[in-house]
Amino acid sequence: METCITVKISSLISNISDPSLSSLPSVNLFSCVQKLLLLKMVNKLNLDRICYLGDDCLDGAAIYLAGIMTHFGIPFDHVAGTDKPGDDFCSRRYGLYVLSDYPRHRFEPSQMEHIVECVRQGSGLAMFGGWESYHGLQGEYHRSPLVDVLPVEMSDKDDRRNYAQPCLIMKTADHPILEGIPWETPPGIGGFNAFRPKVEAQTLLKSVRFSVNVSQDNYSFVPEDEAPLLVVGGYGEGRVTALATDVAPHWVGGFVDWGNDRVKEDVGEGFIDVGNWYARFFRQLLVWTGQL
**Closest C-alpha to 147, from 177, 122, 170, 127:** 127
Q: What integer pLDDT is reported at residue 28 of this predicted model?
A: 53
CB-based contact 150:232 (threshold 8 Å):
no
Q: Is the pLDDT of residue 38 over 80?
A: no
pTM of the complete model: 0.84
CB-based contact 244:193 (threshold 8 Å):
yes
Q: Is the pLDDT of residue 244 over 90?
A: yes
For 147-261, strand residue ranges (E) read 152-154, 160-162, 167-171, 191-193, 195-197, 202-215, 218-235, 238-243
Q: Supply the CATH classification number for the domain 51-290.
A: 3.40.50.880
Q: Is the pLDDT of residue 6 over 80?
A: no
Strand partners, 191: 162
Q: What is the pLDDT of residues 206-216, one digit of tens each?
A: 999 999 999 98
Q: What is the pLDDT of residues 14-28, one digit of tens each?
A: 444 444 444 444 445
Q: Is 97 helix (H, G, I), strand (E, B) or coil?
A: strand
Could you give the maximum distance between any two Cα atoms of the chain, in Å?
94
**Closest C-alpha to 289, from 249, 231, 250:** 231
Distance from chain centroid for Cα 227: 20
Cα–Cα distance, 156 to 141 (Å, whole number): 9
**Closest C-alpha to 33, from 5, 52, 11:** 5
Distance from chain centroid for Cα 224: 29
Cα–Cα distance, 172 to 203 (Å, whole number): 7
Q: What integer pLDDT is reported at residue 262 of this predicted model?
A: 98
CA–CA distance from 106 to each of 84, 102, 131, 135 (Å)? Answer: 5, 8, 15, 15
Q: What integer pLDDT is reported at residue 139 of this predicted model?
A: 74
Q: What integer pLDDT is reported at residue 140 of this predicted model?
A: 85
Q: What is the pLDDT of residues 137-189, one digit of tens each?
A: 987 899 999 999 999 999 999 999 999 999 999 999 999 999 999 999 999 99
Q: What is the pLDDT of residues 93-124, one digit of tens each?
A: 999 999 999 999 999 999 999 999 999 999 99
Q: What is the pLDDT of residues 55-102, one digit of tens each?
A: 999 999 999 999 999 999 999 999 999 999 999 999 999 999 999 999
Q: How many CA atoms lie within 13 A of 105 on its CB side?
A: 7
Q: What is the pLDDT of residues 248-292, one digit of tens each?
A: 999 999 999 999 999 999 999 999 999 999 999 999 999 999 999
